[in-house]
Amino acid sequence: MSNTVRILGIDPGLRFTGWGVIACRGSALTYEASGRIAAQTEGEMAARLWDLASALDHIVATHGPDEAAVEETFVNTNPRSALKLGQARGICLLAPARSGIPVAEYAANQVKKAVVGVGHAEKAQVGAMIARLLPQAGKVSADEADALAVAICHSSHRRAPRRLSA
Name the residues annotated as catalytic.
11, 71, 143
Say which amino acid occupies 129.
Answer: M
What are the C-alpha distances in Å from 33 to residues 36, 64, 69, 77, 153?
A: 11, 11, 15, 33, 17
First-residue to last-residue Cα distance in the chain: 25
The H or E element spanning position 25 is strand 16-25
DSSP 8-state assignment for residue 15: S
Q: Are 106 and 157 in contact (CB under 8 A)?
A: yes
What are the C-alpha distances in Å from 36 to residues 2, 55, 80, 122, 146?
A: 29, 10, 24, 19, 11
